[in-house]
Amino acid sequence: MTELKNDRLLRALQRQSVDRTPIWMMRQAGRYLPEYRATREQAGSFLDLCKNAELACEVTMQPLRRYPMDAAILFSDILTVPDALGLGLYFEEGEGPRFRKTVRSEEDLAGLNTFKAADDLSYVMNAVRTIRRELNGSVPLIGFSGSPWTLATYMVEGGSSKDFSQVKRMAYDRPELMHQLLALLADAVADYLTEQVHAGAQALQIFDTWGGALTAAGYKEFSLKYMQRIISRLPKEADGRKVPVIVFTKGGGQWLPAIADCGAQAVGIDWTTDIATARGLVGGQVALQGNMDPTMLYASPARIREEVATILAGYGHGPGHIFNLGHGITPGINPDHVSAFVDAVLELSPQYHSAS
């Protein structure tokens, strides 16, 4: 494999010294970029874009051409696994992702397709290989998946939900059925992420978007337990380097000590958690990723710079911080404001690493 020219992200994820805080953005390849919108139109649909390796590579590279990011993230969707299990993923304008089938009974669970990531999601692996070739060692490539609990919410609800009534009903009234579904998903995700590493992913993120909808006890039972199961089964090294894992539970700031114990090298935090508090809770156990409010990017460049300075000061000196938003960038952001955001991190962060 090509030698990695910028390993700042991988070093920070292992809490090793770096010259400045590395930065990337969740959804950095997305609708806020006009070139992304043009490529999506060329593809015909979002799913067609995901399934075309060359176009998925193109949109992955687009933000790197504009901004000096320290990582690329695979362009795909968190719902590829449920789609491969046979639920029939489609996207409805204004409604987000939907499934033609749901999983609400033993019969539904038994009717799911058998799953082998290398075969059933070969288009994702083709995209990973294509992106790695195109990156040519410039920055590392992050692979990802949704967490079992987050995938289950879509599979049981049939799409997005505001109150999660169906999936919570299953969790609390039929926990044995929920655990069967989550175990199946954990094994599928472990296989999926392992294949991404084999195809060339150099770091991994598990998106637990809806873990924060659970109670404290429910989170440990239905979400964290299964992410631990996945992490324990992932390759620890590839190409002579460690493959770090980031766990991001939106709304999970109150459970940081438990999340830090899950086996991941880094924990992503959203904007509702103060980063100084978070660092105090996890100590030097894991790296922290985050955590500017994405809507801060609607503010003036001066205000954005001020917020970056506040977060950097909150984390303080030393390694183990990856700058990111507290969730994905929203579509209406001015790309020039992203430049202000990235430039601020590049200019202001080196002072926190001088003694590293």
- The answer to whether the annotation marks 154 as part of a ligand binding site is yes
User: Is 305 annotated as catalytic?
Assistant: no
Catalytic residue among 32, 154, 315, 352: 154
User: Is 40 annotated as catalytic?
Assistant: yes
- The answer to whether the annotation marks 270 as part of a ligand binding site is no
User: Is 229 annotated as catalytic?
Assistant: no
Q: What angle do CA 242, 3, 125 make, to 5 degrees?
A: 65
Task: Indicate the residue type of 28.
Answer: Q
- The answer to whether the annotation marks 327 as part of a ligand binding site is yes
- Cα-trace Rg, the chain: 19
Catalytic residue among 37, 40, 66, 98: 40
The 8 Å CB, 24+ separation contacts for 240-245 are: 241/4, 241/7, 241/10, 241/202, 242/10, 242/14, 243/197, 243/201, 243/202, 243/203, 243/204, 244/10, 244/13, 244/14, 244/203, 244/204, 244/287, 245/203, 245/204, 245/205, 245/206
- The answer to whether the annotation marks 77 as part of a ligand binding site is yes
- The answer to whether the annotation marks 31 as part of a ligand binding site is yes
User: Is 219 annotated as catalytic?
Assistant: no
- The answer to whether the annotation marks 102 as part of a ligand binding site is no
289, 322 Cβ separation under 8 angstroms: yes
CA-based diameter of the chain, in Å? 59
- The answer to whether the annotation marks 209 as part of a ligand binding site is yes
Q: Coil, helix or strand for 289?
A: strand
- The answer to whether the annotation marks 337 as part of a ligand binding site is no
User: Is 31 annotated as catalytic?
Assistant: yes
List binding-site positions.
27-31, 77, 154, 209, 327
Catalytic residues: 27, 31, 40, 77, 154
List binding-site positions for substrate.
27-31, 77, 154, 209, 327
